[in-house]
Each structure stands twice: as structure tokens, then as C-alpha cells.
Amino acid sequence: MTVQPAPAPADLGAPIADWVRIEDLYDDPYPIYRRLRAESPVAWVPAVGRYLVTSFEACHRIEQDADTFSADEEGSLMKRSMGHSMLRKDDPEHQVDRAAYGPVLRPKAIKETWTAVFARNAEKYLADFAAAGPGADLHLGFAAPFAAENLREIMGFRNATQEDLQRWSQTMIDGTGNYADDPDVWAKSAASSAEVDAAIDELIPVLTADPDATLLSAVVNAGLPVEAIRANMKMTIGGGLNEPRDVLGTAVWALLSNPDQLAQVLADPALWPTAFEEAVRWVAPIGMYPRQTTRAVELGGASLPAGARLGVVIGAANRDPEQFEDPEAYNLNREKRPHLAFGGGTHFCAGTWVARTSVAQVALPRLFDALPGLRLADRPAREGGWVFRGMLELPVAWN
């Protein structure tokens, strides 16, 4: 479909990057990010109707100043797709919702309750994937069902399948990234949203009467309003599935493309967490999220008016040469520097330890142990996306 570029604010205060196209961002955003950083790290991009922020310094500043850069954006695509979740709230409202998540997702609970679940699911879906034989797609055949089943169990959707969560997640996050305003995308997102509402409504009385260790039980019994429960669960279905799924695929793709680094990790399993962190830096699964200015402010050489809609481009910040040496390369031996793949400040990703544990501690070592000689297949791997980015296909072979 043809989309009309968004009109620029009257008091723009920044260069206009009218050469940026959504389809190019989807295919390969990194050349675009390099040019934007070089020309202006804060630029108005008509194609997406917001200022894109592409330098590490500016993105980090935004995360540390919630008073100036609000998460509660007007006209939010995420609100339209999923409802008003904690990701689009500022404190103190944000903290009220987030507090209910703590007991379920903190490292102690991950270790004592959920690591065993991750291990069981890894064994099941690795066995299924191995049975498919060499040439199978690791992204769809292992990473996606593994991440989806882990999330289904953590969230407590006993009345849904992992296939349901995959469908819900993809269609709703397509809505949050629907900058082209495609009506078919909105229709699919709305249908999944309604299914999630129905599943939650069915479980609320069950979990009120008989609480368990799941996330849905925690938020129900924390006394959150039903609309907050629904919105936060939809937000979690989106990021909680795509982040571990996509970093798992990216890490495998990176290691198989760099045999010397793979050999390093196989010789020293203590490096699996390092391989994970470099993968999530190299290709940030959540590549961009919005903020809105509450006052006029100078940022990255631009003079932004109050109410300016920003895109905080983590996918660009994590490849900023001012922060990382040779940032376009996957290199697990690089100097350790902080990245922004899990956000920062009060909105630091609540599911960080789920991703780190399920992927770095469980899935990656078991995958390479179960499939000796794992390597890329003859059919090429593909990745895509910019608001969310990850593998689309990852065909592999093994001995």
C-alpha cells in the first residue's frame, strides 16, 4: 500500500531525512543508521512520522530522563494494538504495574522455578527438531516453539498452546510496528487481542481461587484492574516471546558464521553468556521504541519542541562506533561496554533474566551438544525487521 509521509512539525528543529523508506528499514536498517548518525543523530523521518534517535549517547540520555522523555506517548501504536501497558506508562503508574511482575521474574525465581522448565522444553523441542533432519529451519523449528512454550508456562496460559502464543505475539507486535497503517495488520492484531482477553477472563476466577507461581496469577492477585492485566499480558506475549526467540537465532547464526569464535565457546562453556550478550548487542531484538518530549529540549544537536514524537533506535545505538569498536562485527572478544538491548532506567526489561537464562544457560549449550557438527545449510539464512528484528529463516545442517 502507498503511505503518505507524516507532515513535519511547524517548529521542526532538526534535519529532515526524507530519503528513509520503511521497506529499506525492514530489509537492512544498518546502512540507514550509519548515514543518520553521520548526518544528524536526531532527524525527522517523514516515513515513520517521528524523530529517529540513532546515537548511543542520545538514546542513553533519553533512558535516564523520564521526566523529559515520556513513555506515555500520545497516539501510541502499542496502545492501539495491546492496550495501555506499563511500557507506555511513567512512574508512579509504571511502577504499580511492574511491582506485580517482580516475584515471578527475579533471578531467584528463575533459578528455583523456571530453569528446570526451560531445560525440559529444550530437550523436547530439540528432539522434535532433530527428527526433522538436516536442512530444517532452526528459527521456526526450534527457537520459536521453545521460546513460546517457556513463555506460555511462565505466564500461566493453561487454556492456550504455544502455537497460540506465537500467533498472538506476531500479530500484535506487527500492530505495534504498523507505521505503514496497513488495515490487514490492524485486523489481525485486533483478532488476537480479543482472543487474549477471552483467555485471561476465563482464568481470572480460577487463579483468584487457587493462586500459583505464574505471572498471570501474580498480576491477578496483586489487584490490578482487568484492563491493566490484559494490556500487560499482551505486552509480555510480544516482547517475552520475540526477544529470546530472536536472540537465540541471531547467536546461532553469528557463531556459525564465525567458526573461530564458535570453537572458542565450545572449548570454554563459560563463554556462552558472553556470546549471548554480544548477539543481543549486534542485533537488538527490540530495535526501536517510542518516547515523547514533555518540554522543549536540545538533544543530539537538534532543538525539539514539547510533544515531539521520538523513535529511540536501539538497533542503531548498539552499533555506534563512539561506543563500540568495529560495531558492525560480531565479536565476543570485544572490550566489555554497556549496551542498550534491554533498555535502561525505570523501563529496563523485566524479562531480561528469562532471556539470559533460557538462551545462554539452557538452549545454546544444549543445541550445540545435541547436534554435533552444526553448521549453516546451503540455503541462505534471512533476517528482517527494524522495530523488531530477528531471523526469518535459519536453515542448518549437522552430522
Q: Which of 196, 141, 143 is nearest to 167 (CA)?
A: 196
Q: How much is the pLDDT for 372?
A: 95
- Cα–chain-centroid distance for residue 49? 21
Tens of pLDDT along the chain (399 residues) come to 334 455 566 678 899 999 999 999 999 999 999 999 999 999 999 999 999 999 999 999 999 999 999 999 998 888 899 999 988 999 998 888 888 887 888 899 999 999 999 999 999 999 999 999 999 999 999 999 999 999 999 999 999 999 999 999 999 989 988 888 999 999 999 999 999 999 999 999 999 999 999 999 999 999 899 999 999 999 999 889 999 999 999 999 999 999 999 999 999 999 999 999 999 999 999 999 999 999 999 999 999 999 999 999 999 999 999 999 999 999 999 999 999 999 877 777 878 899 999 999 999 999 999 999 999 999 999 999 999 999 999 999 999
**Would 304 be classed as within a structural domain?**
yes
Torsional sign, CA 194, 196, 197, 198 = positive
**Would 13 be classed as within a structural domain?**
no
For residue 230, what is the domain's CATH number?
A: 1.10.630.10
Q: Which domain holds residue 347?
A: 22-397
Residue 272, classed as helix, strand or coil, is helix
Q: How much is the pLDDT for 223?
A: 87
**Would 75 be classed as within a structural domain?**
yes
Residue 99, classed as helix, strand or coil, is helix
Cell of 264: 572458542
**Would 240 be classed as within a structural domain?**
yes
**Would 218 be classed as within a structural domain?**
yes
The secondary structure of the chain in percent helix, strand, coil, rounded to multiples of 5, reads 55, 10, 35
**Would 195 be classed as within a structural domain?**
yes
Helices (H), 158-283: 162-176, 183-209, 215-221, 226-257, 259-267, 272-282
**Would 44 be classed as within a structural domain?**
yes
Q: How much is the pLDDT for 103?
A: 85
Helices (H), the chain: 22-27, 30-39, 56-64, 77-82, 93-99, 102-105, 107-109, 115-132, 138, 144-155, 162-176, 183-209, 215-221, 226-257, 259-267, 272-282, 314-317, 352-355, 364-370
Q: Are 157 and 199 in contact (CB under 8 A)?
A: yes
Give 49's contacts (C-beta < 8 A, 6+ positions apart). Answer: 5, 6, 179, 309
**Would 188 be classed as within a structural domain?**
yes
Cell of 47: 516515513
Tally of domains within the chain: 1
Cα–Cα distance measured from residue 235 to residue 385, given in angstroms and rounded to the nearest whole number? 18
How buried is residue 373: exposed, middle or buried, by Cβ count under 10 Å (0-12/13-18/19+)? exposed
Give 335's contacts (C-beta < 8 A, 6+ positions apart). Answer: 325
Q: In degrees, to the nearest 5, what angle opens at C-alpha 60 toward C-alphas 54 and 62? A: 90
Q: How much is the pLDDT for 3?
A: 41
